[in-house]
Structure 1
Amino acid sequence: MKFTKTIGLTLCAGALLATLPLASSAQIKVGVTVSATGPAASLGIPERDTVALLPTEIGGQAVQYIVLDDATDTTQAVKNIRKFTADDGVDVVLGTSVTPASLAMSDVAAETGTPMISVAASAKLVEPVDGPRKWVFKTPQNDALMARALADAMVKQGVKTLGFIGFSDAYGDGWFQEMSAAAKAKGIQVLGDERFARADTSVTGQILKLLSASPDGILIAASGTPVALPQRELVNRGYKGTIYQTHGAANNDVLRVCGKDCEGMILPAGPLLVADQLPDSHPVKQSALVYKKAYEDKYGAGTINTFGGHMWDAGKLIERAIPEALKSGAKPGTPEFRAALRGALEQVHELPASQGVFNMSPTEHAGLDERGRVMVKVVGGKWTYQPDL
């Protein structure tokens, strides 16, 4: 990887992916851990690559980004945040890519009094805002917000019964809880709850159980390229109902891995995924296109990735909050500054970003509303905006 201008690259024992920029003079330090390898690599790689696009000066202060790979491993993610806080003296942590590791990291964030902005999706990371969650914010849309969009789409498509297969971890747990509630509110019966691990290579048994119940639709609650495993199995088994995915599937690598078996699947996604297709009146179109242009100017046409957008949005949050924290008079690298930064993040209001418009508060650490979601269907191998769903 080659970075331009003031951005440098440092490798250390295969773990430290990048130190950006001005390591000797940076006054504000940002620790970033992502799953650049392992089952969630299709999420972590664009998140990592987006760091090179984040501002290197905020509020008149130089900013240093220290980027580590946690390999989609919870233990490594915790080691990374402990390194950031104990050895590097960071002012804020961004990451990580997946929910289980982000949940584990939140305890360290609270213990050390370090603001953390996760790029994982589960509402459990920030709800309710108490205990360790007082120090944790996140940029992906909450499961509940997306589950309600799915339930609305299912009603329009005449779905009365729903099968469920999801990750056997906190991501799947959160989605089963939220989708069950959203489905019940719309009179949709959930017929099954099957699970699989992120690294599994077969889900035949689980799919056969779901098919025996003959649901009108099936939701796959997973993220990254592992979503292709149950999708492909359902198609190959001749399932004729509607296959739904979560916003964890909003990834071009999914289309590549899944191929024609993805055709027709429906999911809620952030506006970034189909920004070019949105009407000019959409409140997120212009801010989403800013990130899309920046990313594709650096990495090539068609490389834009919705998960990278979550990291961009984390960058937008600290870009808004750091100047406010500096007004407190606290110096970067101190507990006082970290506390001021946490407080400033809670005051972010009407911030347009790539995936929505953020409004944080002392009781809201996700901050996205219906402006942060659209319905999408795979048509002709491409993500297609579905304004009528």
Structure 2
Amino acid sequence: MKPQSIRLTLPALLLAAGLAHAEVTVGVSISSTGPSASLGIPQKNTMPFLPETIGGEKIRYILMDDASDPTQGTKVARRFVTEDKVDIILGSSSVAPSIAISEVADESQTVQLAFSPIELKPGRGAWTYRLAQPVKLMADAVATRAQANGVKSIAFIGFADAYGETWLKEFTSAALAKGIRILATERYARSDTSVTAQVLKMMAAKPDAMLIAGAGTGAALPHTTLRERGYTGPVYHTHGAATRDLIRIGGKAVNGAILPAGPVIVAEQLPADSAPRKPGLDYVNRYEKQYGPGTRTQFGAHPYDAGLVLQRIVPVALKHAKPGTPEFRKALRDALESERDIVVSHGVLNYTAQDHFGFDNRGRVMLTIDNGNWKLLK
């Protein structure tokens, strides 16, 4: 596969001595084709919004498509570190290639800013940091809201894959802490066209509420089936469902759905003193001016947030080493863990050696669907 090299740089400026500034080279692996293209395409669209220069140095972005495939993700990452000599890697859009890239990041000691909330085995991921909120943070938000709404019991249905199982694990823990019992657990495949049998079992358990751990269009199927079968109670979703696809496919049936999301989804509705409001509005205004009203996604904002992180850590690293060196790559990692309160459209990041997610409660909001639109819940 041929790389698509995007040079989002200002014209080359020569120094008085006749030598050019060193470039900071950024490799970007995005799933713009394959099963995760719905995540990767808005991320690819966001790339022109990233900074062209930082700290007086040009930034060169090399953009490649990993096709949502972990094998291709490994190939892309190896090309980045062996041929392109990148200083940092951004991506991937989806879990499997992001995990594959993390292996190369560890081996080459190159910082990776992942766009997905990947969980890595103990002892791995020393060079991998996430720009997507951890499931644990979002599961706690759902459990907290459900408790506040008087929910004592819940039935769960989720994708029969890593996403669904991670949500079941984290929500089970969060629910237990809030005194909420899980009365039924069901699974379904992303490609399923019917979940009637699972829904009937959930309803037979007579829970106070339902939780659907799906994403995109796949999150709509259990919800619409519940309504078709006569269930009228509250339905909660996960942050993977915070897309217009849920509203488009679900229609009136998903009205009233409750779910967590990154703050950028409702940037205009955030309080004036909310830290992510300003960068969120900046991203939304840029993106929707280019691609139309309502086209924002929380996934598309991750590369934009990567640009904000780079603006904080590159100047710090430049004080210690020159781009293109192992010392500069280490300096970038040190800066990630020493810089405090990096404000992005999805929240506020404070990475440490122990915490490579960096988010706190400012990285989540709770929403409902109100007549086809997102509404921030206070």
TM-score, reference length from structure 2: 0.90
Paired residues of 1:43 and 1:224 also in contact (CA < 8 A): no
Q: How far is 1:340 from its partner?
A: 1.4
Alignment of 1:12-23 (within 5 A): 16-17=3-4, 19-21=6-8
Q: Which moved more, 1:218-227 or 1:170-179?
A: 218-227
Q: How far is 1:141 from its partner?
A: 1.6
Q: 1:333 to 1:302 in 2, by over 3 A?
A: same
Q: 1:299 to 1:314 in 2, by over 3 A?
A: same
Code of the aligned partner of 2:282: V
Q: Which has the larger radius of gyration?
A: 2
> C-alpha offsets along residues 43-65 of structure 1, whole Å, 9 cap, x if unaligned?
21111111111011112111111
Q: How far is 1:21 from its partner?
A: 3.0
In the alignment, what sits opposite 1:28? Answer: 24
In the alignment, what sits opposite 1:155? Answer: 147
> C-alpha offsets along residues 94-149 of structure 1, whole Å, 9 cap, x if unaligned?
11122233223211210111111111124x25xx9x63221111112221111111
Code of the aligned partner of 2:273: S
Asked if 1:246 is matched to 2:233, the reply is no
Q: 1:341 aligns with which of 332, 337, 358?
A: 332
What is the alpha-carbon distance in structure 1 between the residues aligned to residue 176 and residue 324 of structure 2?
48
In the alignment, what sits opposite 2:68? Answer: 72
Asked if 1:380 is matched to 2:367, the reply is no
* SS of equivalent residue, structure 2 residue 6: strand
Paired residues of 1:39 and 1:198 also in contact (CA < 8 A): no
In the alignment, what sits opposite 2:205? Answer: 213
Question: Over the residues paired in the alignment, what is the CA RMSD in angstroms?
Answer: 2.2
Q: 1:55 to 1:256 in 2, by over 3 A?
A: same
What is the alpha-carbon distance in structure 2 between the residues aligned to residue 43 and residue 28 of structure 1?
26
Q: How far is 1:289 from its partner?
A: 1.0
In the alignment, what sits opposite 1:315? Answer: 307
* SS of equivalent residue, structure 1 residue 220: strand
Q: 1:93 aligns with which of 59, 78, 89?
A: 89
Asked if 1:172 is matched to 2:168, the reply is no
Paired residues of 2:90 and 2:306 also in contact (CA < 8 A): yes
What is the alpha-carbon distance in structure 2 between the residues aligned to residue 351 and residue 317 of structure 1?
7
Q: 1:190 aligns with which of 154, 158, 182?
A: 182
Code of the aligned partner of 1:233: T
Q: 1:102 aligns with which of 83, 92, 98?
A: 98
What is the alpha-carbon distance in structure 2 between the residues aligned to residue 262 and residue 66 of structure 1?
40
In the alignment, what sits opposite 1:140? Answer: 132
Q: 1:283 to 1:23 in 2, by over 3 A?
A: closer
In the alignment, what sits opposite 1:4? Answer: none
* SS of equivalent residue, structure 1 residue 193: strand
In the alignment, what sits opposite 2:16? Answer: none
Q: 1:362 to 1:179 in 2, by over 3 A?
A: same
> C-alpha offsets along residues 252-290 of structure 1, whole Å, 9 cap, x if unaligned?
233223322321111111211111122213232222112
Q: 1:225 to 1:30 in 2, by over 3 A?
A: farther
Runs of 4+ aligned residues of structure 1 deviating over 6 Å after TM superposition are 23-26
Q: Which moved more, 1:110-119 or 1:20-29?
A: 20-29
Q: 1:191 to 1:69 in 2, by over 3 A?
A: farther
Q: How far is 1:195 from its partner?
A: 2.6
Code of the aligned partner of 1:295: Y
* SS of equivalent residue, structure 2 residue 345: coil
Instruction: Extract unaligned runs of 5+ from structure 1.
Output: 1-12
In the alignment, what sits opposite 2:267? Answer: 275
Q: How far is 1:224 from its partner?
A: 2.8
* Number of aligned residues: 369
Q: How far is 1:24 from its partner?
A: 11
Q: How far is 1:23 from its partner?
A: 11
What is the alpha-carbon distance in structure 2 between the residues aligned to residue 88 and residue 279 of structure 1?
43
Q: 1:230 aligns with which of 213, 222, 230?
A: 222
In the alignment, what sits opposite 2:50? Answer: 54
What percent of counterpart residues are identical? 46
Q: 1:193 to 1:21 in 2, by over 3 A?
A: same
Code of the aligned partner of 1:64: R
What is the alpha-carbon distance in structure 1 between the residues aligned to residue 343 and residue 248 of structure 2?
30
Q: 1:224 to 1:112 in 2, by over 3 A?
A: farther
Q: How far is 1:374 from its partner?
A: 1.3
Q: 1:293 aligns with which of 250, 275, 285?
A: 285
Q: 1:38 aligns with which of 34, 37, 44?
A: 34
TM-score, reference length from structure 1: 0.88
Q: How far is 1:18 from its partner?
A: 5.2
